[in-house]
Amino acid sequence: MYILRSVALAASLASLVACSDNSATRSASSPSSKAAPDTAVARKVAKEFRVHYNRPVDLDSTDGYFLPVSVVPLDGAARSRTFSSGSYESDSDRNGIEGTCYNLVFLQKATLSEHLLLTHSRFVIADIDIEKKPDARWPYLFYTIMKADTNGDGEQDKEDVSALYVSDRSGQQLHQLTPDGTDLVSWQILPKTNVLLAEVRPDVNKDREFTHADGTYWLRFDLQNLRVAPAQQPTAPLSKQLQQQMLERQSRLPQ
């Protein structure tokens, strides 16, 4: 039963990606349209940074594993130009990712075949959740990804907005879950349900800062059918009612 259920869920995810017109999904899987870096710039970068392959991560009972790939400085002088990506769980241990993780190499144990999660280098993978949740059994991997320098400060780091992505456990069918124009704050799967909740922050005042003043709301995803758009919680009518209650409440207090 579990195998059949997992196959159905994986097929649902594959169907979703095949039918989706989500531009973020296409940008994650299609080659970059940007030209190669200038030769002089590339030589300078090569003198300051190198590729680092982090500890391999075994994907439980699957036939695969992956390597987080990072850029790290050759010395401390260049360290300010890298973002320290988060961590991942492996063999019940918490492992850190050294440097800025910009891709994952997925490998098959039996065939030795390999492929990249991303076909470009524009994103930063800030965090990877590989836990096989026994009460939900969803055959997915989840990623927190920063897509761009959204605040325009010349860096791609924790001050920029992030989005929640999902793929199957072989690193295929990568898909963006939370919408553009919002910053991922937190997410969770409710135990013994097919409900995934993601807290996102919109840029209400359009200052590109995504601060506490903007507030947050929650999106509810159905992990059995990711083709269905998430539902906002609370709903718009209830949010309006709660806003009015807040105004009435605070208006009664001494100013």
The model's pLDDT over 60-112, given as tens digits with 9 standing for 90+, comes to 767 889 999 999 988 865 555 566 676 555 444 556 788 899 999 999 988 88
Specify whether the CB–CB gap between 146 and 156 falls below 8 A. yes
**How many percent of the chain have pLDDT more than 90?**
41
Residues whose CB is less than 8 angstroms from the CB of residue 135 and which lie 6 or more positions away in sequence, other chains included: 191, 192
User: Domain extents for the chain?
Assistant: 2-33+42-252
Specify whether the CB–CB gap between 194 and 223 falls below 8 A. yes
Residues whose CB is less than 8 angstroms from the CB of residue 132 and which lie 6 or more positions away in sequence, other chains included: 60
The pLDDT score that the predictor gives to residue 200 is 95
The pLDDT score that the predictor gives to residue 187 is 95
Among 190, 66, 61, 183, smallest CA distance to 116 is for 66
The pLDDT score that the predictor gives to residue 75 is 80
Strands 114-116 and 124-129: unpaired
The pLDDT score that the predictor gives to residue 178 is 96
The alpha carbon dihedral of 30, 225, 229, 210 has a sign of negative
The pLDDT score that the predictor gives to residue 83 is 67
Which pair of tokens denotes residue 172?
A: 């295929």
**pTM of structure:** 0.79
Q: Is 122 exposed, middle or buried (0-12, 13-18, 19+ CB in 10 A)?
A: middle
Residues whose CB is less than 8 angstroms from the CB of residue 179 and which lie 6 or more positions away in sequence, other chains included: 163, 200
Specify whether the CB–CB gap between 19 and 174 falls below 8 A. no
CA distance 105 to 150: 26
CA distance 26 to 5: 27
> Which parts of the chain sit beneath pLDDT 50?
1-27, 29-33, 90-92
The pLDDT score that the predictor gives to residue 82 is 63
Which pair of tokens denotes residue 137?
A: 């059994």
